Structure 1
Amino acid sequence: MFREGYPFPDEDTHRYIPRRKRRREPDSDGVQSARILAGYFARPDAVPDELADALHEVYPIFDHHDLIAGAIPAQDHERARRTGRWLVRTAMDRCAVRVGLALLGAVGEPEDIPVIQLIGLLSKVFGPLSAHAVERIATGPEALIWLAERVTGWGRVYVVETLCRLGDPGANRWLLRQAVDGDYLNRYFAGEVAMAAGLHEVLDEFEHDPELVEHTGRLLGVMAESECMGMTLEHYPHAAAVIEAHARHA
C-alpha cells in the first residue's frame, strides 16, 4: 500500500540516485543548492523554471538549511518569495519543490501557509521543510496541528517533533491527547512528547479528562517498545508517577 503521497509524478526520474549525486561531501546538499541559488539571484533576468533542471542535478535538500537562506540577497526578499512560490506551486520535480519550500521557510508570509500545508501532506518528502516553514511563519500552533492531524508515518514524526519544540500551551494540549496514532514510527517521538508537553505536570487532569487518560495509555505503551528508536520507560524520569496515576484512572 502506498503512503505519504507515493507514487509521485516525477517517480521515473527518482528511481535511482545518479553517480554524481552519490559523491556527497558533508553538507553538500545545502552547499550545492545554495550555490545554484546564488547564481540565480546574481542574474536579474533569470526565471524560476531555470532552477528546476539545475536543482535536479545535485543532491537534494531534505530539511531546513541555513545556507539556503544565506543565498538570498538582503535586498531581494520579494524576488525570493516569488521564486519560492513558483517552485512550490509549479515545479514538476521534487528537488525544486524542496528548495521552494526552503525559500518560503526563509522569507515566506502568512498567505503562503495554505499552499505549504497542502504540499506538506506529501509528508515523507516535503514534511520537514513544510513543518519548518509553517513554524517560522505562523503565529500560533494551529497551522502545524492542522498538518499533524492529516499526515502519517515519517511525516507525522517531523510535524510532531516540530510541535514539541514550540513550548506552546495549545500545541502541548494537542500533543498530550492526539500525537500517538498507532504507527510504529510513533516510537521516535513518544518520549519527546511526554517530556516536552509536560505529561507529569497534568496528572491531576486525569480525573476529568478521559481523552488525556486514553492517550496517556497509548503513549506509555509506545514508550515501552521504543528501545533503539526513542525514549523508553526505563529512561523516562517521570515513568513511575505517570504509570501510577494512569493505573488509578484507566
Structure 2
Amino acid sequence: MSAPHERPTLAPSLYVYAKGLCDRDPDGQPPQGGHPLPDTARTRGRRRPGLRYHEALAAVTDALLPLLDAPDPARAAAEAERVLATTGVVREQVVFAAAAAVERPDEPAARALVRSLARHLVRTGTTALGVSAGLGLLSRLAEPEDVPYLRVLGLLDGLVHPVDAVLAPLDKPAAALVWLIHRTRSEELSGLVAALTTGDRAAVPTLLLGLPTEARGMGPEVARRVTEAVDLAALLRADPDRPELLGRAVHLLARMTSSRDYHAEILRYGEAVDLYETVAAHAHRLPRDVGHRARLLTLALDLHSGASYLLPWPPGRREVIHRTLLDTAAWHGEAPADPDGRRRADWIRRTARRLRAAPSEAPRFRIEVAVADPGDPDVVETRFLIDGRPLVPEAFGPGPGGSPERLLDSGALRAAPEPREVRLAEAYCTEGCCGALYVTVRREGEHVVWSDWRRPGGPAGRPDLPAYRFDAAAYDAEIARAEHDHGWTWPARLTARLITAGLRDRPDLLTRWGLRQGWISTDFSEPDTTVVTFTGPPLGDPRPGPNGAERESRQFLWRLPDDGTPPERRAARALRRLVDEDPRALAEGS
C-alpha cells in the first residue's frame, strides 16, 4: 500500500488547474476578478469558532515549524496540507501571514530545504491553505524561476494577495498585471489589461492614453499598478518626445501622490525617482493648458512637503526637480473663462506663490497647509515638517494630516504646561478602520516637547517615534504664524472659517433655536460653496418629546454659494441672519 503522500488525488494541484484554464484559451483574457478556485480547494478545512487572529497565527506556525527541516519536501508538503486542515484556520491570508513570518534559517542547506518545501506546496498543493502556506514560506526566498508559477497561480481568485506579495519583488509588471486582472472595473482599463495579458505591447500606448482621468476612475493604487504594468518609465525613455504620453505619466504620477488610499502609493513605486527625472526633463514639451500645469504643480507640492520628499533622492536632485516643475507650472495671463479652469488657475497662482515663499533653509519645525488641485479634489491637510522632513507620511501613512480648522483654528497645537494629546492625522477611511496618529504636546521650561506617540489601529511595522524637542519661543512663533496664515485658502473656505469663529464667540446664535453646530467648511465637489451644518429637531417642532424626552434630531445643511462679495462681508451677513431667522428655514430639505 502506498504512503499517503504518494497516493494520487482526485483533485489536481491548483497550479495544474490554473494552467489548464490558461492552455484552453491561450490568447484569451481571464475573467474579471480572476478564475474561481475549484470547489475542492476549500473543502478540507473546518473553521474553529471563536478562534482569534493571534491564535490562528500561532496554530499555523505550530503546524509548519516541525516540517521545515524535513528531508523529504514532497512528503512534508503533503503533511502540511493535512495538518493545516486541522487547525481550524480557513482564511488564506492568515495562513500566508503566519508562514511569511516564520524565521528563515541562515544556513544555506537549511534555507534550501525550506525553499524546496515552499515550492512543493506552491506547485503541487491542492488546497488554498496549502498553497498560501507555500507562498508565505517562499516570500524572501523566491527566485526568478518561480515567476512562471506565480503568474499562473495569480489568476485564481483567493490567491491574488499572497501571489502579489511574493511576485512583486521579482517582477513588478507581472505582479501589477495580476492585481489589475482582479481589480479592473472600467471598460477602458479592461482593454489595457487584455492587451497586456495577450502580449500586445504595440497597443499599450494608445490604450493607456484612453484611460479615465477622473479621480474616481483612477485611484492612487490603480495608478501605481497601471504605471508598473505598462512599465511607463521604459515607455517614456523609448519615446520621450510624445507629449500625450508624457502628459499621462504626469497624471499617473500625480494620482500616486494622493493621500486618499491605504498607503502612500508614491513610496511603493520603485521607479518613482526615474519617472520624476524623465517628467522634469521633458515637462516643457507639454501643452501650456491649465490641466497639465496643475498636475505639474501637484508634483512640486508633494516634493516640497509630501510623501515624494521621502523618496531615495540623490543629493540635491529633489531640489532641482522641484524648482523645474514649479517654474514650468507657472501660470501667467488671464484665467480660463470656465469656472473649473478659473478655479485651477487661481489655485496654481496661490500655491506657486506659497512654495516660492517657503524658507530656503529648513527650520527645525514648520507647519504648512496643503490644498490639492481643485480639478482632482482631495482633502485640505495640515503638514508638519521637522528639519524639513514631512512627519505624517513617514510616521503614519494611510491618511493625511488633519484639517487646519481642527488643528490650527482651534488652538489645539498650542503648548501649555498641562500635557495635551492631539490627533495629528487620521486614516482616509476613518480612525476606526485603519487608525490615526496621536502625539502629546507639553511645555517644559524653554522647550516644547512632542512625545508619547500613539498609532491606534494604524499600520504595523512602523518604527517607534522619538520625543521631539523644540525651542519654545520658536515653536510659539510658528504656531502663531500658521494660525494667522490665510494665504492658502480661497473665498468660500475663508467664509467658512470666519463663520466658525463667529459662532465660537456667539454660540447662542444656534443654541437659541435649539440647534447644535456641526462641521462648517466647503462643499467637496463644489469648493466655491460654503456649507454650514447643524443638528436639531425638525423645523416647527421644537417641543420636547413624551415625558420630556428629546425629540428626533436631524442634520441640516445651509449652503452659501460664492456671490463675489468679500468673505468678511459674507460671513458677517450670515451671522446677522441667525439673529432673527431660524437657520432651519435657510437649510436644504427644510
TM-score (norm 2): 0.28
Please name the residue that 1:5 is paired with: 35
Please name the residue that 2:174 is paired with: 143
What letter is aligned with 2:372? A
**Structure 2 Cα separation of the partners of residues 174 and 119 of structure 1:** 33
Determine whether 1:31 maps to 2:55: no
Determine whether 1:240 maps to 2:373: yes
Q: Which residue of 18, 33, 51 maps to 2:46?
A: 18
Percent sequence identity over matched residues? 18
**Structure 2 Cα separation of the partners of residues 195 and 69 of structure 1:** 23
What letter is aligned with 1:128? H
Please name the residue that 2:167 is paired with: 134
Q: Which residue of 101, 112, 133 maps to 1:99?
A: 133
Instruction: Decide whether the 8 Å contact of 2:180 with 2:225 is kept in 1.
Output: no
What letter is aligned with 2:173? E
TM superposition shift of 1:34 = 1.7
Instruction: Decide whether the 8 Å contact of 2:115 with 2:137 is kept in 1.
Output: yes
Determine whether 1:115 maps to 2:178: no
TM superposition shift of 1:169 = 7.6
Please name the residue that 2:310 is paired with: none
Q: Which residue of 48, 54, 68 maps to 2:77?
A: 48
What letter is aligned with 1:144? A
1:8-47 Cα shifts (integer Å, max 9, x gaps): 2425617xx7352x33223233322221111112543553
What letter is aligned with 1:240? D
* Alpha carbons of structure 1 residues 27 and 11: separation in structure 2 relative to 1, 3 Å: same
TM superposition shift of 1:130 = 0.9
What pairs up with 1:135-214 in 2 under 5 angstroms?
A: 135-136=168-169, 138=170, 141-152=172-183, 170=233, 173=249, 176=252, 189=261, 207=286
**Structure 1 Cα separation of the partners of residues 92 and 162 of structure 2:** 9
RMSD between superposed Cα atoms in Å: 4.7
Q: Which residue of 41, 56, 70 maps to 2:102?
A: 70
TM superposition shift of 1:69 = 4.3
**Structure 2 Cα separation of the partners of residues 54 and 175 of structure 1:** 49
Please name the residue that 1:225 is paired with: none
The structure having more radius of gyration, on CA atoms, is 2
Instruction: Decide whether the 8 Å contact of 2:81 with 2:130 is kept in 1.
Output: yes
* Alpha carbons of structure 1 residues 12 and 67: separation in structure 2 relative to 1, 3 Å: closer
**Structure 2 Cα separation of the partners of residues 90 and 174 of structure 1:** 44
* Alpha carbons of structure 1 residues 27 and 88: separation in structure 2 relative to 1, 3 Å: same
**Structure 2 Cα separation of the partners of residues 35 and 161 of structure 1:** 39
**Structure 2 Cα separation of the partners of residues 142 and 84 of structure 1:** 23
TM superposition shift of 1:66 = 6.2
User: Gaps (5+ residues) in structure 1?
Assistant: 180-187, 217-236, 245-250
* Alpha carbons of structure 1 residues 125 and 132: separation in structure 2 relative to 1, 3 Å: same
**Structure 2 Cα separation of the partners of residues 144 and 207 of structure 1:** 31
Secondary structure, counterpart of 1:50 in structure 2: helix
* Alpha carbons of structure 1 residues 149 and 18: separation in structure 2 relative to 1, 3 Å: closer
1:69-106 Cα shifts (integer Å, max 9, x gaps): 42543332111221111111111111001011111113
TM superposition shift of 1:153 = 6.1
Secondary structure, counterpart of 1:47 in structure 2: helix
**Structure 2 Cα separation of the partners of residues 118 and 174 of structure 1:** 32
**Structure 2 Cα separation of the partners of residues 130 and 174 of structure 1:** 29
**Structure 1 Cα separation of the partners of residues 69 and 138 of structure 2:** 19
**Structure 1 Cα separation of the partners of residues 76 and 263 of structure 2:** 46
Instruction: Decide whether the 8 Å contact of 1:81 with 1:103 is kept in 2.
Output: yes
**Structure 1 Cα separation of the partners of residues 56 and 223 of structure 2:** 22
Secondary structure, counterpart of 1:240 in structure 2: coil
Instruction: Decide whether the 8 Å contact of 1:161 with 1:189 is kept in 2.
Output: no
* Alpha carbons of structure 1 residues 49 and 238: separation in structure 2 relative to 1, 3 Å: farther
Report the structure, 1 or 2, having the larger strand content.
Answer: 2
What letter is aligned with 1:77? R
**Structure 2 Cα separation of the partners of residues 134 and 242 of structure 1:** 35
* Alpha carbons of structure 1 residues 169 and 68: separation in structure 2 relative to 1, 3 Å: same
What letter is aligned with 1:103? L
* Alpha carbons of structure 1 residues 71 and 191: separation in structure 2 relative to 1, 3 Å: closer
* Alpha carbons of structure 1 residues 12 and 110: separation in structure 2 relative to 1, 3 Å: closer
Report the structure, 1 or 2, having the larger helix content.
Answer: 1
Instruction: Decide whether the 8 Å contact of 1:38 with 1:72 is kept in 2.
Output: no
Instruction: Decide whether the 8 Å contact of 1:85 with 1:100 is kept in 2.
Output: yes
